[in-house]
Amino acid sequence: MQPLLTLLQINDSMFPIGSFTHSYGLESYVSQGIVHNTPTAKVYANNMLRHSIYYNDAAFLQKAWALLEAKKSVREFQKLDEMITALKAPAEIRDASKKLAVRFLKLTQELHPVKRCSNYLSKIQEGKLHGHYAVAFAMYAHASGITLKDALLAFYYNTLNGIVTNCAKLVPIGQGDAQKILFDLQATIKQLVDEQENMEEEMVGLCCIGQEIRCMQHEKQYSRLYIS
């Protein structure tokens, strides 16, 4: 495998794992008029990166990577999976993480089987583990010879790309404005990746209360275009 090409493929917005069906609370923000134009969309995207992804999925990816580097036992991955499940309070977000993980693992195993990924998928399907996308992504990227820094940069970028794509559909904002948000927040992504490994343990999983409330509200929203 070519690490860069593999990373580009598994991180592509067209990689069919169903991420386009999730807004992660954005639909509630738009419905309530909180995110309603390009400036508010940019603020929302920036806040999601800094106050949600940084402390949660990106941190979970890094923790999984550390376990892989240290060749830790299956039990350690089970503990990480259980911790992530407990930290993802909104049901929609918890289920989204599982669905993306299962689809990602199934597809990547068709492309190039990785034993640890196969085992993780089996444990999820057997109900022994919940399953989380950040862990699955870390496992496959690590096995593909991708560096941690590149994996994190790609993970953040793909998350941001999903946010601005959803903003373009929901707010809506123009495609040019969406691309400008992506470009302008590159520096934010680099900063967060550079700081990721120095995060204190007790900060992992820090709750982004605004997003979690909107995700919970989304469960009972009258009309919905997205699963979450």
pLDDT, tens digit, for every residue of 150-188?
999 999 999 999 999 999 999 999 999 999 999 999 999
Confidence of residue 143 (pLDDT cuts 50, 70, 90): very high
Q: What is the pLDDT of residue 40?
A: 97
Lowest mean pLDDT among 184-188, 209-213, 219-223: 219-223
Q: What is the pLDDT of residue 18?
A: 87
pLDDT, tens digit, for every residue of 111-141?
999 999 999 999 999 999 999 999 999 999 9
Confidence of residue 94 (pLDDT cuts 50, 70, 90): very high
pLDDT, tens digit, for every residue of 33-77?
999 999 999 999 999 999 999 999 999 999 999 999 999 888 999
Secondary structure percentages of the chain, helix, strand, coil, to 5 = 70, 0, 30
Amino acid letter, 130: H
Amino acid letter, 47: N
Confidence of residue 223 (pLDDT cuts 50, 70, 90): confident
d(CA 227, CA 133): 16
d(CA 87, CA 84): 5
User: Contacts from 176-179 at CB under 8 Å and sequence distance 24+?
Assistant: 177/38, 177/41
Q: What are the residues whose beta carbons fall under 8 Å from the beta carbon of 196, sequence distance 6 or more?
A: 54, 58, 59, 62, 152
Say yes or no to pLDDT of 1 above 80. Answer: no
Confidence of residue 20 (pLDDT cuts 50, 70, 90): confident
d(CA 228, CA 28): 9
Domains in the chain, ordered, with CATH? 3-218 (1.10.4190.10)
CA 202, distance to chain mean position in Å, is 20
